[in-house]
Amino acid sequence: MEIGVGDRLRLKKQHPCGSYEWEVLRTGIDFRLRCMGCGHLVMIPRTKLEKNIRGIQAKEQ
């Protein structure tokens, strides 16, 4: 699965603020994501993230 910095992800589960959209800030074994609704930052392991992705919107250049 090709996920890069700046991509926006739509996840299966909703964040408590109500948003499903996340922006990728860092990639690797762990991902750093920012909630597009409230700006909350989280670190999540790659395996867990890949299972929960519903859609990917690539970074616009």
Dump pLDDT digits (tens) for 17-59.
Answer: 999 999 999 999 999 999 999 999 999 999 999 999 999 998 7
How far apart CA 33 and CA 30 sit, in angstroms, is: 10
Q: What is the DSSP letter of 49?
A: H
Q: Is the pLDDT of residue 16 over 90?
A: yes
> Burial code of 12-43, b = ≥16 C-beta within 10 A, e = fewer?
eeebeeebbbbbbeeeeeebbbbbbeeeeeee
